[in-house]
């Protein structure tokens, strides 16, 4: 299951629904920058680091492709346990990288320094942690289990990071003993959760069990295929599931893309279908479009089929879940971006391969009729107002991909199949 837009598509709810039919649920990339909201049994859970499957008691795996903030993870596990959720189902790959305090400090300082050029990150240390992983100076989950190795690695890292923090960013550095004792202290709590994720998933698949890979962030935030540099530092696209967990790509049977019935984006960067005018604020209020992790206002736009067509291609999406259709009730007309007009006046239905074309892309709209009844009572697609059904059918026709789920309200059962 992957986000087909810029994140916040309502994946938490869809993954929770799919988790009911799964035995194992895996996170394969990202870290506490994700914010999944799950509403179930009248309770709201907001989780950032733990796979959503934990809420329904499924084996919940954090793969090697993830970055883990141990404090966030342990706090989250404590809170879930306090609310009666069994957290013994959580398994963390020893190869996942740790978010260290300097990653958070560098993320914050670097965004401040970039000023108006900032990426608008969640400031949780994601980018700096992945950068250290690629530079091969990262510290992994398995390292906390050996205090000697841990101390050595922190010492090596700090020799460089403190110079960087103090001299380049002009903020305080970190004390070796303090960081070491704090992280060594996590060892005892983390140890029972650490396991061989690749083997676990392989065995589950061999046993014919259902394994769900839960993408965090989304296609357009993918480091390689998203709207770089306004992206996250991992690979949320479907193929990232194979590398991020440690299985071959041939093991993935189906790819479900999750898309809102409109579009939102947090942070900076071009956004062709962003709504110009007061309807943006109205859509934001109706959809409750404020960040789960950061509380920031999300930018809102009408559905962008060019971007969604791209997501279908990049992920090999075999079906879609369309979320928050109910939020569109009461707009008399619903523009949908069907093509981009490029600088040379040509129009394209394909996502521009070059960033400057994307920056200057103007939306070409098709305007569909809206509907004015709310969708509260709908229990099947047949109950939807004709215009709402047409809106769904229109997307299916344009993209050539079936929509198998339609979200019509916040609670878990407000999804039509
Ligand atoms: P980072 O992942 O914190 O480095 O942030 C990089 C970009 O990804 C920023 O534009 C963030 O707003 C965006 N981003 C990261 N996680 C999420 C998410 O869960 N939903 C929406 N946007 C996200």
Q: Residue 410: which pLDDT band, with cuts at 50, 70 and 90?
A: confident
pLDDT value at residue 252:
97
CB atoms within 10 A of CB 167: 9
Quick one: pLDDT at residue 321?
Answer: 98
Q: Assign 13 a pLDDT band (cuts: 50, 70, 90).
A: confident
Percent of the chain with pLDDT over 70: 100
Using the mean position of ligand 1's atoms as its centre, give its distance from the Cα of residue 177 in Å.
32
**Which tens digits make up the pLDDT trace of 280-305?**
999 999 999 998 767 889 999 999 99
Q: How far apart are CA 89 and CA 208, in angstroms?
A: 19
Ligand 1: lining residues by beta carbon, under 6 Å: 7-8, 33-35, 119-122, 124, 126-127, 216-217, 221, 230, 232-233, 266-267
Is 80 exceeded by the pLDDT of residue 34? yes
Query: Is residue 69 predicted with pLDDT exceeding 90?
Result: yes
- Token reading at 397: 């026709």
Active site residues: 8, 36
Output the pLDDT for position 39. Answer: 79
Of 43, 46, 48, nearest to 31 (Cα)? 48
Ranges assigned E (strand) in 274-414: 299-301, 319-323, 333-341, 347-348, 362-369, 403-407
Q: Whose CA is nearest to atom 8 of ligand 1?
A: 232
Closest CA to 258 of 7, 24, 27: 7
Q: Which of 266, 290, 292, 293 to mutate to test the pocket of ligand 1 (most atoms within 8 A of CB)?
A: 266
Cβ–Cβ < 8 Å for 219, 235: no
Pair of tokens at residue 382: 């047949």
Residue range 159-208, pLDDT digits in tens? 999 999 999 999 999 999 999 999 999 999 999 999 999 999 999 999 99
Which residue has a Cα nearest atom 2 of ligand 1?
232
Ligand 1 centre to CA of 127 (Å) is 10
Q: What are phi and psi of 94, to 5 degrees?
A: -65, -15
Rg from Cα positions in the chain: 22
Backbone φ, ψ for residue 377 (5° rounding): -80, -10
The Cα–Cα gap between 292 and 246 comes to 29
Residue 354 in tokens: 């070059």
Give me ligand 1 centre to Cα 17, in Å.
24
Report the distance separating Cα 258 and Cα 286, nearest Å: 19
- SS3 category, 68: strand
Q: 338 pLDDT band (50/70/90 cuts)? A: very high
Q: Is the pLDDT of residue 401 over 90?
A: yes
Distance CA 274, CA 88 (A): 43
* Atom nearest to 269 CA in ligand 1: 10
Cα pseudo-dihedral 367, 368, 369, 373, rounded to 10: -130
pLDDT of 331 > 80? The answer is: yes
Tokens 């978010």, located at residue: 99
Q: Whose C-alpha lies nearest to ligand 1, atom 16?
A: 33
Query: Which residue minimizes the CA distance to atom 1 of ligand 1?
Result: 121
């Amino acid at each position: 299951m992957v986000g087909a837009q810029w994140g916040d598509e309502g994946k938490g709810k869809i993954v929770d629904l799919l988790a009911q039919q799964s035995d194992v649920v895996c996170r394969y990339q990202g870290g506490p920058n994700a914010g999944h909201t799950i509403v179930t049994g009248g309770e709201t859970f907001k989780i950032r680091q733990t796979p959503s499957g934990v809420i329904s008691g499924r084996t919940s795996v954090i793969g090697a492709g993830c970055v883990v903030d141990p404090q966030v993870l342990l706090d989250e596990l404590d809170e879930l346990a306090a609310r009666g959720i069994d957290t013994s189902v959580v398994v963390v790959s020893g190869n996942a990288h740790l978010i260290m305090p300097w990653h958070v400090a560098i993320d914050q300082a670097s965004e401040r320094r970039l000023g108006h050029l900032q990426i608008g990150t969640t400031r949780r240390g994601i980018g700096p942690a992945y950068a250290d992983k690629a530079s091969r100076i990262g510290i992994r989950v398995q390292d906390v289990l050996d205090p000697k190795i841990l101390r050595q690695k922190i010492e090596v890292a700090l020799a460089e990071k403190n110079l960087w923090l103090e001299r380049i960013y002009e903020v305080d550095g970190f004390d070796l003993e303090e960081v070491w004792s704090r992280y060594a202290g996590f060892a005892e709590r983390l140890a029972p959760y650490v396991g061989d994720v690749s083997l676990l998933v392989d065995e589950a698949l061999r046993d014919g069990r259902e394994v769900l890979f839960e993408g965090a962030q989304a296609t357009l935030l993918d480091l390689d295929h998203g709207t770089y540099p306004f992206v996250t530092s991992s690979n949320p696209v479907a193929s990232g599931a194979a590398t991020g967990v440690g299985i071959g790509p041939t093991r993935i049977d189906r790819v479900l893309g999750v898309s809102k019935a409109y579009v939102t984006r947090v942070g900076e960067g071009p956004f062709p279908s962003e709504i110009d005018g007061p309807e943006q604020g109205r859509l934001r209020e109706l959809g409750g479009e404020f960040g789960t992790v950061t509380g920031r206002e999300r930018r809102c736009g009408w559905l962008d089929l060019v971007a969604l067509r791209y997501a279908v291609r990049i992920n090999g999406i075999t079906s879609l879940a369309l979320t928050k259709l109910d939020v569109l009730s009461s707009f008399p007309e619903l523009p949908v971006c069907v093509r981009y007009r490029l600088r040379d006046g040509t129009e394209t239905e394909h996502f521009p391969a070059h960033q400057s074309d994307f920056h200057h892309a103007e939306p070409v709209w098709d305007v569909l009729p809206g509907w004015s009844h709310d969708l509260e009572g709908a229990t099947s697609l047949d109950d939807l107002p004709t215009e709402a059904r047409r809106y769904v059918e229109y997307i299916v026709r344009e993209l050539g991909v079936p929509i198998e789920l339609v979200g019509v309200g916040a609670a878990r059962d407000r999804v039509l199949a």
